């Protein structure tokens, strides 16, 4: 992940940010003073124990916004980094980095620290602040306890954001907030994202997931490297596991833990990225692009491409 280097920055208390209701959009708007640059957060209360916060920042100076909040119940925060990188440092010196392309899941009993932004670097983040009551409702009290430990600040997960979540995030950002059914759209897409991003964390030890350490990380990276090299004709899962000297069960767990995906899902991602570049940058026919990324039939490729990107291969070639 990108390292954030901030040596001299302006400090601002969160209480100094203006907070105004936006009745036509059923939300609150928190704004950065204009002399410090562009910055605003839209805050939607989707449920008494669930808030959705859409944050867009581009400060003119290195900026640190300090805050101190004591929650009435433990909170879980799911942050999707869509653009840029920010850092949070609590009063005890613990650091959390929120990076583009990653979902960071944290839990808090309280929040006392500062969030740091780099000058002239655009930031786009979606955050979901979840109370324990909400988790109890959907998981039950015993299951939700896994997410809430007796720590002021705890990092539970930082992994690449799932493709399905990015699709739902685009729907959230494109929602007409003045439409009568906008709250229903926001709640539906938020639930989709939370189901995708929290699912793999639901009591992994209960299902026999292995302990993950640096050796596991190296093994996962090696497996990913093999699939990148052989994506046109990937090995079977059994042969991939055998190459790594692990069981098929452990192989699947490694991919779920480190890549939020299955091995075949990773192959699809690799194929689709290669295909998109070929369609956007060259004049190759769709049938040749399909063959070049491992599809024997162009129709199967077109179906997979449309499902992955939400547009057909023909729409990409027309943009040239």
Model confidence over 164-181: pLDDT tens digits?
Answer: 899 999 999 988 888 888
For the record, the structure tokens of 256 come out as: 């779920």
| β 102-117/85-90 pair status | antiparallel
**What's the CA gap between 46 and 26, in Å, rounded?**
10
| pLDDT score recorded for residue 1 | 40
CB 194 within 8 A of CB 129: no
- For CA atoms 148, 149, 152, 155, the dihedral sign is negative
Strands (DSSP E) contained in the chain are 10-13, 18-22, 27-31, 37-47, 50-59, 63-83, 85-90, 95-99, 102-117, 123-131, 153-160
Give mean pLDDT, residues 138-143.
77
90: three-class secondary structure by DSSP? strand
Q: Where are the domains of the chain?
A: 10-206, 209-260, 265-317
For the record, the structure tokens of 68 come out as: 């101190």
CATH number, span 265-317? 1.10.10.60
Distance separating the N- and C-terminal Cα atoms of the chain: 32
Q: Shortest CA distance to 76 belongs to which of 157, 13, 15, 17?
A: 157
Report the CATH architecture of 10-206.
Sandwich (2.60)
Give me the half-sphere count of Cα atoms (radius 13 Å) on the Cβ side of residue 269. Answer: 16
**What's the CA gap between 170 and 299, in Å, rounded?**
27
How does pLDDT run across 174-207, given as a tens digit for each residue? 888 888 888 899 999 999 999 988 876 765 544 4
Give mean pLDDT, residues 261-280.
90
The model scores a pTM over 0.85: no
Least confident piece of the model among 51-55, 233-237, 306-310? 306-310
Average predicted confidence (pLDDT) for the chain: 85
């Amino acid at each position: 992940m990108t390292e954030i280097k901030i040596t001299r920055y302006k400090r601002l208390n969160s209480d100094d940010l203006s907070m105004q209701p936006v009745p036509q959009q059923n939300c609150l708007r928190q704004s950065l003073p204009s002399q410090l640059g562009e910055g605003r957060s839209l805050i939607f209360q989707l449920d008494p124990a669930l808030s959705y916060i859409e944050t867009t920042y581009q400060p003119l100076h290195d900026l640190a916004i300090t805050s101190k909040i004591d929650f009435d119940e433990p909170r879980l925060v799911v942050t999707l980094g869509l653009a840029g990188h920010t850092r949070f440092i609590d009063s005890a010196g613990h650091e959390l980095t929120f990076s583009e392309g990653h979902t960071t899941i944290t839990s808090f009993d309280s929040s006392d620290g500062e969030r740091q932004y780099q000058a002239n670097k655009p930031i786009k983040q979606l955050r979901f602040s979840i109370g324990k009551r909400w988790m109890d409702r959907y998981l039950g009290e015993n299951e939700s306890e896994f997410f809430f430990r007796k720590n002021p600040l705890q990092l539970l997960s930082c992994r690449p954001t799932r493709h399905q979540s990015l699709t739902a995030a685009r729907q959230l950002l494109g929602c007409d907030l003045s439409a009568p059914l906008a709250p229903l759209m926001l709640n539906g897409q938020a639930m989709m994202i939370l189901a995708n991003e929290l699912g793999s964390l639901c009591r992994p030890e209960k299902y026999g997931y292995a302990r993950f350490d640096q050796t596991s990380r190296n093994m996962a990276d090696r497996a990913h490297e093999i699939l990148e090299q052989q994506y046109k004709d990937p090995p079977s899962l059994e042969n991939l596991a055998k190459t790594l000297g692990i069981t098929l069960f452990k192989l699947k767990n490694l991919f779920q833990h480190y890549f939020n995906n299955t091995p075949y899902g990773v192959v699809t991602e690799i194929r689709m990225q290669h295909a998109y570049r070929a369609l956007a940058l060259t004049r190759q026919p769709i049938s040749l692009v399909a063959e070049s990324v491992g599809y024997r039939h162009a129709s199967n490729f077109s179906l997979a491409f449309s499902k992955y990107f939400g547009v057909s291969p023909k729409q990409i070639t027309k943009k040239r």
